[in-house]
Amino acid sequence: MTRLNGPETTAPERHRETRDERIARYDEDDVRSLRERVADTAWRRRLAARRSVNHGYRVAVGVVGGLIVAVGLATIPLPGPGWLTVIAGLFVLASEFTWAERLLEFTRKHVKRWTDWVSTQPIWVRVLIGLLTAAFVYGVLVVTLHLLGVPGWVPGWVPLWR
């Protein structure tokens, strides 16, 4: 028997999934949590069958996810994908831990609220938010260069604190 994104079927029963069946499956997946979907995979069930392996796997997921979140938190004030890295770390943690899944859902709701609010604002407010964000990032970059010094590989257009 093989598994084709749903109940187990034998080879003669296979058929191409219709659009309505795909939509129903995705709607069903929205109800299930990320952790439940990962736990339902064959490789995860094999790991869960052995307690010591399962415990080691959960510890490894916690360590890797925690490191990704820590790197993301450290890079938030710096130019680059700080928040994106934090969210990626939460995705890793949410595959095994309910608290991380709840935090990820909380983050998703607030980002959506913020995005919806910004998209309803006049263009001058959006431009002002963009300029303030750019000024903040520039300020953090200047303070970082002041504290750590300008690296030798930076060209002469950065004359600060050389």
pLDDT tens for each residue of 94-128:
888 888 888 988 988 998 999 999 999 999 999 99
Q: CA–CA separation, 44 vs 37, rounded Å?
A: 10
Q: Which domain holds residue 156?
A: 121-162
* Domain presence at residue 21: no
Do 129 and 75 lie in a common domain? no
Do 89 and 134 lie in a common domain? no
Spatial neighbors of 141 by CB under 8 A, at least 6 apart, are: 78, 79
Do 83 and 93 lie in a common domain? yes
Nearest to 63 by CA among 40, 96, 105: 96
Tokens of 71: 């790197």
Do 150 and 107 lie in a common domain? no
Do 69 and 138 lie in a common domain? no
* Domain presence at residue 72: yes
* Domain presence at residue 130: yes
Do 103 and 131 lie in a common domain? no
Q: CA–CA separation, 33 vs 104, rounded Å?
A: 11
Question: What integer pLDDT is reported at residue 1 of this predicted model?
Answer: 47
Do 111 and 138 lie in a common domain? no
* Domain presence at residue 155: yes
Do 46 and 110 lie in a common domain? yes
Do 42 and 105 lie in a common domain? yes
Question: What integer pLDDT is reported at residue 22 of this predicted model?
Answer: 59
* Domain presence at residue 20: no
Q: What's the total number of domains in the chain?
A: 2
Do 129 and 111 lie in a common domain? no
Low-confidence ranges of the chain (pLDDT < 50): 1-3, 162
* Domain presence at residue 90: yes
Question: What integer pLDDT is reported at residue 129 of this predicted model?
Answer: 94
Do 107 and 133 lie in a common domain? no
* Domain presence at residue 92: yes
Strand, helix or coil at 152?
Answer: coil
Do 101 and 149 lie in a common domain? no
pLDDT tens digits for 79-90?
678 889 999 999
Question: What integer pLDDT is reported at residue 23 of this predicted model?
Answer: 57
Global pTM reads 0.60
